[in-house]
Structure 1
């Protein structure tokens, strides 16, 4: 059974109705999720104390608590500069007692906290960071859906956490630009890297890209 579950999670987009057909009659999704907006439904069984590290997803989703209790802490996408990101997740593992010597900016991040009990549903918007701790044994379901046109998403994404293709391309372009700057002496590299940061801030935060 374990090997079968691994095969599903590694190759197929999660759909609780297909992978756990005995539960299909207990789950009814609104018609909205039957159309092309629907991406996945993930069946989650959590033991007490299980923690899901602070991360973001690129799609909107509902976290549905069927049984048990969870604590969820969220951070706005605007607080990304304070979360010490590595890919889609934060390097700050202990958000209740962070190592401020290593992560001094973390104190600037504003946290939103809630408790989910059986029957509760939490809407987690795309790009919002969330950290989830199971306070007791529980069962839950995540439902993810596409709120951007389908062509914006990576077609190889089976988990719903790969950045949109345009964002991935932009990151690759930036990496190439930084490698090009490496050809310059240190003082020039530092100067032009700072100019690039200012240019990005000026353009990216304006209402319209030019």
Structure 2
């Protein structure tokens, strides 16, 4: 797999509020943060662009509510902001897709000549999936690094529930099978990058 020299790493909603197990419930993939950090380090070492996306929730009481401690990026992300050799962008949003945030992500990527994006972050089947679908619709080559993200168990209609692992698998099948994105691993992506 070849990762383009200017591929953008889109790091979605890696915020402290997602550590509130009492609110979100059980999560999957305990290796997610380590894999995100490895990709961030590689992007910053190679001077590729990084987009940090923050969810500014407008719902009162949300762990991600604007101005709350949970709204802040997790420490391993915050410590890496501004440390790379390449361009960086901070996008804030209050909906699922990073393409509906401020500033305009699509305009920034196109203005920078970026055609390939790698999606990582939280949650797999929510903001990550929505951003990947929109990216595919907008014509980007979207790589969805499945082991560099996580999600939570979820209750749905009719008394149905799905575990985080089931949701992750369903998201991967929908995105990859539906050709919205290529579902890959952190190792795949790291092998496709090289120092510049």
Q: How high is the TM-score relative to the length of structure 2?
A: 0.26
Which of the two has greater strand per residue? 1
Which of the two has greater helix per residue? 2
Larger radius of gyration: 1
